[in-house]
A = this chain, B = another copy of it.
Amino acid sequence: ATVDKGVDFANYFCTYAFLFHQKEMLSDRVRMDAYFNAIFQNKHHFLEKTVLDVGTGSGILAIWSAQAGARKVYAVEATKMAEHARELVKANKLEGVVEVIEGSMEDVTLPEKVDVIISEWMGYFLLRESMFDSVICARDRWLKPTGVMYPSHARMWLAPIRSGLGDQKMNDYEGAMDDWFCFSNETQTYYGVDMSVLTKPYSEEQKKYYLQTSLWNNLHPNQVIGTGAIIKEMDCLTATVNDILNVRASISSSITAENTRFCGFGGWFDVHFRGCKENPAQQEIELTTAPSEDNSTHWGQQVFLLHPPLRVREGDGLIINFSMNRSEENHRLMEVDLSCEIRQSSGNNFPPFKNKFYIE
**Is B206's CB under 8 angstroms from A20's CB?**
yes
Task: Type the 1/0 row for A121-136, where 1 means its CB is closer than 8 Å to any CB of B.
Answer: 0000000000000000
A positions within 8 Å CB-CB of B = 4, 6-7, 9-11, 18-20, 23, 26-27, 29, 32, 36, 58, 60, 63-64, 67, 84, 87-88, 90-92, 176, 180, 183, 187, 190-198, 201-202, 205-206, 209
A26 in complex: contacting residue of B23, B187, B194, B197, CB < 8 Å: B187
Q: Cβ of A197 and Cβ of B91 under 8 Å apart?
A: yes
Smallest distance from the beta carbon of A297 to chain B beta carbons, Å? 16
Are B23's CB and A180's CB within 8 A? yes
Using Cβ atoms and an 8 Å threshold, which residues of chain B touch A187?
26
What is the distance, in angstroms, from A116's C-beta to the closest C-beta of chain B?
A: 19
Write the nearest CB–CB distance from A202 to chain B, whole angstroms: 5
Given contacts A64-B191, A183-B26, A193-B60, contact A19 B202 (CB under 8 A): yes
Q: How far is the CB of A62 from chain B (nearest CB, A)?
A: 11
CB <8 Å contact, A205 and B19: yes
Instruction: Determine how close the nearest CB of chain B comes to the CB of A83; give it in whole angstroms.
Output: 9
* Cβ contacts under 8 Å, A202 to chain B: 19-20, 23
Q: Could you jot down 23 A-B contacts, CB within 8 Å?
A: A4-B4, A4-B6, A4-B7, A6-B6, A6-B7, A7-B7, A7-B9, A19-B205, A20-B209, A23-B180, A23-B202, A36-B191, A63-B193, A64-B191, A64-B193, A84-B198, A84-B201, A87-B197, A88-B195, A88-B197, A88-B198, A91-B194, A92-B194
B92 near A183 with CB under 8 A, answer no
Cα of A206 to Cα of B90 in the assembled complex, Å = 23
CA–CA, A18 and B204, complex, Å: 11
**A183 and B27 within 8 A (CB):** yes
Contact between A92 and B7, CB atoms less than 8 A apart: no
How many identical chains are in the complex?
2
- Residues in B with CB closer than 8 Å to A23 are 180, 183, 202
Q: Which residues of B contact A84 (CB under 8 A)?
A: 198, 201
Residue of B nearest to A191 (CB): B36
Write out the residue numbers on chain B whose beta carbons fall within 8 Å of the beta carbon of A60. 191, 193
Task: Given contacts A7-B9, A20-B205, A63-B193, list 12 more A-B pairs with CB under 8 A.
Answer: A10-B10, A18-B205, A19-B205, A20-B176, A20-B202, A20-B206, A23-B202, A27-B183, A32-B190, A88-B197, A90-B197, A92-B194
Shortest distance from the beta carbon of A278 to any chain B beta carbon, whole Å = 30
What residue of chain B has the Cβ atom nearest to residue A12's Cβ? Answer: B10
Instruction: Write the nearest CB–CB distance from A40 to chain B, whole angstroms.
Output: 9
Find A201's partner among B19, B36, B194 (CB 8 Å cutoff).
B19
Q: Give bound CA distance, A60 to B10, whole Å.
A: 30
Min CB gap A259→B, angstroms: 39
A221 to chain B, nearest CB (A): 25
